[in-house]
């Protein structure tokens, strides 16, 4: 028995996805040998691009990605330009790292990014984006060039290849749009060493203002001077960026497993536009000797608001 439209709408509504009178729900299961109609779990589509092609912008269509041992390996980068078109994974509620609803780069592809969320009002939940195959150019996992999008429990993992991790222009997440919200997301990874002064999150462009990160973790593995977890690029106009209850964790270990030097700063701020970097709640920095290279733009209610505040330390005897 198939999944009737009303049942599909009720299912995604329970996942916190808004639906309207014209909303359509398409099921994607990368494990099937061939695509079906996409209208039921018994007849799913095989790939996200197939489902996306069936979606109509601005009517709250939903793509449901079924988790499992097989990820959706993209062979071509996908520009997600349809506003109010959502992507939600169905799997165990693993927080960020470990999420089993996976979008990857195909083994024969060399993608500079997997998906660019260009539309507005899109919701993405419970999905891993892992760009693991790269040998030709600077690359990352996801670009968010649209605005007012919502990401929850998403794992953004770029530089999943040692060659990409050794490039200064590589990243895990690039945000150029405005007023996007990221909740319980993992940005970066600690499985591939970063051997260049790159960044896990790059905020750039003249419309990258008022983005917010809540309960997120920023991860890297690096002992390279100049390596950043978050970079505000030159020419960016971020206005106010908020990080609430976030953890910035760099694994300061060499490639052969030995203790190494911490990176200089978690945040690199090259923007010359007036802006505020607001740290709300409990924010911790680990494996970094400083919070930011431009502390005059950083604000926090935590004690000792100076270059060293919020740094994780080892207990003393």
Phi, psi of 174 (to 5 degrees): -120, 125
Pair 150, 233 in one domain: yes
Taking the C-alpha atoms of residue 99 and residue 36, their distance in angstroms, rounded to an integer, is 25
Please name the helix (run of DSSP H) or strand (run of DSSP E) that holds residue 50, with its range, or none.
helix 48-54
Please name the helix (run of DSSP H) or strand (run of DSSP E) that holds residue 64, with its range, or none.
strand 61-66
β-pair partners for 277 = 241, 298
Instruction: Tell me the per-residue pLDDT of 251-301, one tens digit each, with 9 for 90 and over.
Output: 999 988 899 999 999 999 999 999 999 999 999 999 999 999 998 999 988
Instruction: Tell me the per-residue pLDDT of 8-54, one tens digit each, with 9 for 90 and over.
Output: 777 888 888 988 889 999 999 999 999 999 998 999 999 999 999 99
pLDDT of residue 1: 33
Taking the C-alpha atoms of residue 271 and residue 295, their distance in angstroms, rounded to an integer, is 12
The reply to whether 316 falls in a domain is no
The reply to whether 317 falls in a domain is no
Pair 58, 127 in one domain: no
How many domains does the structure of the chain reveal?
2
The reply to whether 313 falls in a domain is no
User: Could you say which of 66, 101, 120 is where a domain stops?
Assistant: 66
Block residue for tokens 């222009």 = 169
Pair 221, 173 in one domain: yes
Domain housing 14 = 1-66
**Nearest C-alpha neighbor of 250 from the set 278, 219, 275:** 219
Q: Output the 3-class SS for 234-260.
A: CCCCCCEEEEECCEEEEECECCCCCEC
Pair 43, 185 in one domain: no
Note whether 277 and 241 are within 8 A (CB): yes
The reply to whether 307 falls in a domain is no
Pair 16, 120 in one domain: no
User: Could you say which of 66, 84, 117 is where a domain stops?
Assistant: 66
Pair 206, 221 in one domain: yes
The reply to whether 222 falls in a domain is yes
Pair 193, 236 in one domain: yes
Pair 148, 123 in one domain: yes
CATH of the domain at 153: 2.160.20.10
Residue 149: helix, strand or coil by DSSP?
coil
β-pair partners for 89 = 65
DSSP-assigned letter for residue 295? G
Pair 182, 117 in one domain: yes
pTM, two decimals, is: 0.94
The reply to whether 268 falls in a domain is yes
Instruction: Tell me the per-residue pLDDT of 167-188, one tens digit each, with 9 for 90 and over.
Output: 999 999 999 999 999 999 999 9
**DSSP letter string over 186-234?**
EEE-SSS---SS-EEEEE-STT--S-EEES-EEEEE---TT-EEEEE-T
The reply to whether 24 falls in a domain is yes
Instruction: Tell me the per-residue pLDDT of 300-309, one tens digit each, with 9 for 90 and over.
Output: 887 654 556 7
The reply to whether 312 falls in a domain is no
End-to-end CA distance of the chain: 65
β-pair partners for 259 = 253
Instruction: Tell me the per-residue pLDDT of 84-93, one tens digit each, with 9 for 90 and over.
Output: 999 999 988 7
Instruction: Tell me the per-residue pLDDT of 85-121, one tens digit each, with 9 for 90 and over.
Output: 999 999 887 887 878 899 999 777 889 999 999 999 9
Please name the helix (run of DSSP H) or strand (run of DSSP E) that holds residue 73, with its range, or none.
strand 72-74
Q: How many CB atoms lie within 10 A of CB 122?
A: 23
Note whether 263 and 250 are within 8 A (CB): yes
Write the CB contacts of 247 (distance below 8 Å, at least 6 apart in sequence): 216, 217, 218, 283, 284, 286
User: Could you say which of 66, 87, 117 is where a domain stops?
Assistant: 66
Write the CB contacts of 296 (distance below 8 Å, at least 6 apart in sequence): none
Note whether 129 and 115 are within 8 A (CB): yes
């Amino acid at each position: 028995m198939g999944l009737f439209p009303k049942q599909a709408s009720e299912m995604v509504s329970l996942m916190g996805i808004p639906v309207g009178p014209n909303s359509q729900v398409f099921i994607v299961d990368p494990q099937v040998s061939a695509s079906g109609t996409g209208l039921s779990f018994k007849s799913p589509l095989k790939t996200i691009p197939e489902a996306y092609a069936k979606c109509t912008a601005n009517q709250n269509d939903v793509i449901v990605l079924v988790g499992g041992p097989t990820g959706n390996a993209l062979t071509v980068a996908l520009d997600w330009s349809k506003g109010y078109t959502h992507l939600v994974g169905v799997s165990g509620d693993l927080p960020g790292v470990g999420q089993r609803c996976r979008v990857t780069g195909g083994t024969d592809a060399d993608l500079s990014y997997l998906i660019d969320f260009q539309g507005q009002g899109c919701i993405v939940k419970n999905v891993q984006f892992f760009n693991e195959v790269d040998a030709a150019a600077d690359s990352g996992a996801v670009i968010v060039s649209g605005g007012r999008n919502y990401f929850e429990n998403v794992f953004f993992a770029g530089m999943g290849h040692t060659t990409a991790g050794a490039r200064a222009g590589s990243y895990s997440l690039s945000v150029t749009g405005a007023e996007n919200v990221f909740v319980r997301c993992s940005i970066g990874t600690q499985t591939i060493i970063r051997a260049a002064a790159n960044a896990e999150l790059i905020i750039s462009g003249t419309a990258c203002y008022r983005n917010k990160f809540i309960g997120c973790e920023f991860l890297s593995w690096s002992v390279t001077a100049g390596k950043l977890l978050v970079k505000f690029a030159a020419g960016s106009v971020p206005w106010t960026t908020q990080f609430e209850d976030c953890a910035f964790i760099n694994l300061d270990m060499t490639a052969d497993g030995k203790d190494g030097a911490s990176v200089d700063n978690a945040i690199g701020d090259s923007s010359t536009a007036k802006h505020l970097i607001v740290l709300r709640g409990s924010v911790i920095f680990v494996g970094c000797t400083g919070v930011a290279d431009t502390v005059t733009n950083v604000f926090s209610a935590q004690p000792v608001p100076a270059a060293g505040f919020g740094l994780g330390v080892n207990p003393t005897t």
